[in-house]
Amino acid sequence: MPQGSSHRPHRPHRVVVLVDDGVNPFEVGVATEVFGLPRPELDRDGPLYELTLCAPAAGIRMNQGFFTLSGAAGLEACDTADTLIVPGRPDNVVPRTGPVLDAVRAAHARGARIASFCTGAFALAEAGLLDGRRATTHWRWAAEFRALHPRVLLEPDVLYVDEGDVLTAAGSAAALDLSLYLVRRDHGAEIVNAVSRRLVFAAHRDGGQRQFVERPVPEVPDASLAPVLAWAQQRLDGPITVADLAARAAVSPATLHRRFRAELGTTPLAWLLGERVALACRLIERGEERLDVVAHRSGLGSAANLRARLKRETGLSPSAYRRRFGTAVAPGKHS
């Protein structure tokens, strides 16, 4: 399947996770949590995704031998994948087996979307899918990756990279970021927000953010940012400054910046912009057709600014976003 699914697919989008020997269990768990669990809270006729775990052997030993995975499908399951996910493993100097690489190549050749988590990018590079393309992996293995795969345009200091049909995520936690990004790309902001609420995880962190943040130990532990975030989310239709957020949190602007960097990996203004764009997406999905109204209610100001921001964040114009994720547009209405 190409890069996204339709708004109301005839069948669930098929996600297959290729579990190779020595794989990290956390990343397999991320894929299972995001793509494999039922979502009764969404009140939909069917599931968002259909998940299958596949492996090159009957029993797969997980990283450090903590447990062995059994009961997974064979590699032939890759032939049915709309999205094929390759989690990472730490022993990257050991080449993947021929059948594993062949399965990845064949899935990509027939149009499946391919995604890697953490050092799973090594497998994609070995399969030849990343030559001349941008990609990322865990910063700890960046030098090793460059030495083994010099033809790949490695970006070692971002959370994830979207090359359309091939996507790569950095460290293990970035697997969650990329997974939610895929849900958003497939189903829109409304659905991904519901999924992220259940995960108790941020619905969207831009892929260009840094993989890791310096976290100096404060003299007094900071309280959670949740109250000030909730306060701001209720007031996105009006102007909000960093000084406003700092006052609400009863800290200085400098301290607020430090806490945002430490807890969210971004700045207060970048977080606010992301929340405004997410709200604009939800309004469009719910059927609001007047761009000036969407721009005002989301705090983006003008229809022109809304178009620019939506295009940057989603790759779609408001009209294209509405066609993919929104309700039917009345005749004569255009954006």
R_g of the chain, CA atoms, integer Å: 21
Which single residue is written with the structure tokens 């190549």?
105
pLDDT in tens, 115-145: 999 999 999 999 999 999 999 999 888 999 9
CB-based burial label for 332 (10 Å; 0-12, 13-18, 19+): exposed
How far apart, in whole angstroms, are the C-alpha atoms of residue 212 and residue 158?
9
pTM over 0.75: no
Q: By mean pLDDT, which of 1-10, 146-155, 168-177, 294-303 is the weakest? A: 1-10
Q: Which residue, 7, 22, 30, is CA-closest to 176?
A: 30
Q: Residue 214 pLDDT > 60, yes or no?
A: no
- pLDDT exceeding 70 applies to what percent of the chain? 87
**Amino acid making up residue 235:** R
Chain mean position to CA 186 = 11
pLDDT in tens, 28-71: 999 999 999 888 878 777 889 999 999 999 888 888 777 888 88
How far apart, in whole angstroms, are the C-alpha atoms of residue 214 and residue 104?
36
Pairing of strands 166-169, 160-162: antiparallel
Chain mean position to CA 65 = 28
CB-based burial label for 45 (10 Å; 0-12, 13-18, 19+): exposed
Are the C-beta atoms of 291 and 335 separated by less than 8 Å? yes
> What would the DSSP string read from start to end of 151-162?
TSEE-TTSSEEE
How far apart, in whole angstroms, are the C-alpha atoms of residue 161 and residue 175?
11
